[in-house]
Amino acid sequence: MKKVLVGVLMSMGIIGTPAVMAEGNPEAGKALTAVCAACHGADGNSLVATFPKLAGQQEGYLLKQLKDIKSGARKVTEMTGLLDNLTDQNLSDIAAYFASQKGSIGEASPELVELGEKIYRAGNSETGVPACMACHGPAGKGLGSAAFPAVSGQHATYTQNQLNKFQKQERNNDPAAIMRDIAIKMNYREIEAVSSYIQGLY
């Protein structure tokens, strides 16, 4: 199933073959993350729910986000100017470091688990919302590309905020507008529930 999905997405131009990029050095990256640690934690496991956990995230996805933030393609006010003096190799090294760390898992709210699991695993056929696991995998580990990140254990507040931004078109660096097209079909309760479910997913 995964191979079929990837094949279809490649044929549609949503994802392609991996781009040639500088190979990241985790050790070099660690030395560059002192400023990152203030919000994301020294090992990438943020303790503040509004800042994303980066530990264990896919390297290609992290690198894309860093480049998008630096170029302005993705607006993150808190990171304004922080990447300006970093080279592409620096960004690759930082991505490699956080990707090499072990991510932490939280807990889902018991009252939201049933709906959250339904949306994550089956979507909502009545409104055209696809199953999240089709792109992010059954355990939330992603599909190994810059387009489909790992979501397992991510803070519910952060995930909910990002889905809201996609829904309002405030975040638009998703390939082929995939997340914008999905989020706009979701209601508040679905976003809240699936965000909570993801927080406890492993």
Residues 16 and 78 in one domain: yes
pLDDT of residue 55 exceeding 70: yes
Residues 84 and 132 in one domain: no
104 assigned to some structural domain: no
Domain boundary among 75, 99, 123: 99
105 assigned to some structural domain: no
Mean pLDDT value across residues 55-66: 97
For the stretch 4-32, pLDDT in tens is 444 445 444 455 434 445 689 999 999 99
30 assigned to some structural domain: yes
Mean pLDDT value across residues 29-47: 97
Domain boundary among 67, 99, 131: 99
Question: Which is nearest to 151 in space by CA: 176, 116, 184, 177?
Answer: 116
Residues 79 and 46 in one domain: yes
d(CA 97, CA 25): 7
37 assigned to some structural domain: yes
Q: What is the mean pLDDT of the chain?
A: 92
83 assigned to some structural domain: yes
Question: Which is nearest to 140 in space by CA: 105, 100, 115, 166?
Answer: 105
Name the residue range of residue 7's domain: 2-99
Residues 118 and 52 in one domain: no
Question: Which is nearest to 163 in space by CA: 185, 141, 138, 134?
Answer: 185
Name residue 129's beta-bridge partners.
Answer: 124
182-186 CB contacts, 8 Å cutoff, 24+ apart: 182/129, 182/130, 185/124, 185/127, 185/128, 185/129, 186/119, 186/124, 186/127, 186/129
Q: What is the CATH number of the domain that holds 122?
A: 1.10.760.10
56 assigned to some structural domain: yes
For the stretch 145-166, pLDDT in tens is 788 999 999 999 999 999 999 9
Residues 89 and 123 in one domain: no
pLDDT of residue 99 exceeding 90: yes
Question: Which is nearest to 127 in space by CA: 172, 78, 167, 77?
Answer: 167
Number of structural domains, the chain? 2
Q: How does 81-103 read in b/e, with b if 16+ C-beta sit within 10 Å?
A: eebeeeeeebbbbbbbbbbbbeb
d(CA 91, CA 104): 23
Name residue 124's beta-bridge partners.
Answer: 129
- Report helix, strand or coil for 119: helix
Residues 94 and 146 in one domain: no
pLDDT of residue 2 exceeding 60: no
Whole-model pTM? Answer: 0.89
d(CA 104, CA 46): 9
Residues 6 and 91 in one domain: yes
Residues 120 and 189 in one domain: yes
Residues 22 and 85 in one domain: yes
Residues 143 and 117 in one domain: yes
User: Which conformational region is residue 93 in: left (phi greater than 0), alpha (psi within -120 to 50 degrees), or beta?
Assistant: alpha
Domain boundary among 66, 99, 132: 99
Question: Which is nearest to 32 in space by CA: 74, 75, 62?
Answer: 62
